[in-house]
Amino acid sequence: MRKNTIMITGASGEIGHALISSLIEQGAPNILSLDVRPLEIGLNHKITHIQGDICDRSLLERLVSEYEIETIFHLAALLSTRAEFTPEAAHRVNVEGTMGLLQLASNQSEWRGRPVKFIFPSSVAVYGMPSLDVKAQFPKVREWEWNYPRTMYGSNKLYCEMLGIYYSEYYRQLAVERPVMLDFRSVRFPGLISAFTVPSGGTSDYGPEMIHAAAKSEEYACFVREDSQIPFMVMPDAITALLRLAAAPVEKLTRRVYNVTSYSLTAGDFRDLVLKSFAKAQISFHPDLKRNGIVDSWPADMNDNDARRDWGWKPSYDLERSFYEYLFPNIKNRYRI
Ligand code: AKB
């Protein structure tokens, strides 16, 4: 008998690590995780981890035959900076990988006669502010504004949002009978900061990198200007957003893609906060103009009213709590300071 299963792709990444820890804590049964990398020791004995590629269709078909997949958290992705260096590989993983999983979830929904829930982390990177003036004029963007991404990653995320909406609303629209559709739901995350993992391959990485470097007493040269501003959120809130959206009654949802955020700060603000906790930290600013251009094209903040209204989204960690209750204590603990 196939077991009802929660499937998590990109499980060895930052969000995957935190989501699995949270689901295990909540006693969620039957977690199936997938990643090209092995899973961290502390986690893998409590769940079934498959080391494999989401673009491997035969692997996906094998998993479908062995597991009754009820919910998919599709976290696997090449992030913005890395995707700029390998755009074809990014397209393969971010788009073809997602397409394969959407098709799998669509087939499963028909098989089961019930929608598979497909939870997809999108990103602030779907936005493209044409200039710093426009960025200043639109400090808190709505979901439908400035969807002109200027990175491969941002384009991938926006297209996959649309694919998810297509498979949930219009798939097989010419068929005589409407098939059972999958239930795609997505959040557009700001930059994420974890106390327990360090980012790799993103462009919002300067924030977490600065804190972890200070804790390790390493000098840090920030690759964006001091005034560069985008929204951020700590990992526990990101996990809350994914789980709360997944649990929301479908009839409450007025859209399938939602902004979520906690606060917005400049790279200079980051430096000031870090110096309050690590007085000897050596932080300098050596902007990489091209990477800074990507950050400048992202909005200073996002409007998440719809998420608050439709499924009760609310971050638990404001700026103060993020740094003084979550980041600094846990990072000091991590580096035994
Ligand atoms: C990145 O920097 O690529 C990601 C993101 C903002 O989605 N952290």
* Ligand 1 closest atom vs CA 79: 3
Distance CA 13, CA 21 (A): 12
Q: Which residue puts its alpha carbon closest to atom 6 of ligand 1? A: 191
* Ligand 1 closest atom vs CA 189: 7
Structure tokens at 89: 């590989």
123: CA distance to ligand 1 center in Å?
7
145-159 as b/e: b if 16+ CB within 10 A: ebeebbbbbbbbbbb
Distance CA 319, CA 262 (A): 8
Distance CA 153, CA 83 (A): 6
Q: Which position has the token pair 């909005």?
A: 299
Within a 13 Å sphere around the CA of 176, how many CA atoms are in the beta-carbon half? Answer: 0
* Ligand 1 closest atom vs CA 298: 6
Predicted confidence at residue 41, as pLDDT, reads 63
* Ligand 1 closest atom vs CA 123: 7
106: CA distance to ligand 1 center in Å?
28
Distance CA 55, CA 156 (A): 15
Structure tokens at 126: 């779907």
Predicted confidence at residue 215, as pLDDT, reads 95
Identity of the amino acid at 224: V
Task: Print pLDDT tens along the chain (337 aa).
Answer: 677 899 999 999 999 999 999 998 888 888 999 999 998 766 666 789 999 999 999 999 999 889 999 999 999 999 999 999 999 999 999 999 999 999 999 999 999 999 999 999 999 999 999 999 999 999 999 999 999 999 999 999 999 999 999 999 999 999 999 999 999 999 999 999 999 999 889 999 999 999 999 999 999 999 999 999 999 999 999 999 999 999 999 999 999 999 999 999 999 999 999 999 999 999 999 999 999 999 999 999 999 999 999 999 999 999 999 999 999 999 999 998 8
205: CA distance to ligand 1 center in Å?
7
Predicted confidence at residue 288, as pLDDT, reads 98
Give the DSSP letter string of 70-133: EEEEE-----HHHHHH-HHHHHIIIIIIHHHHHHHHHHHHHHHTSPPEEEEEEEGGG---SSHH
pTM: 0.97
125: CA distance to ligand 1 center in Å?
7
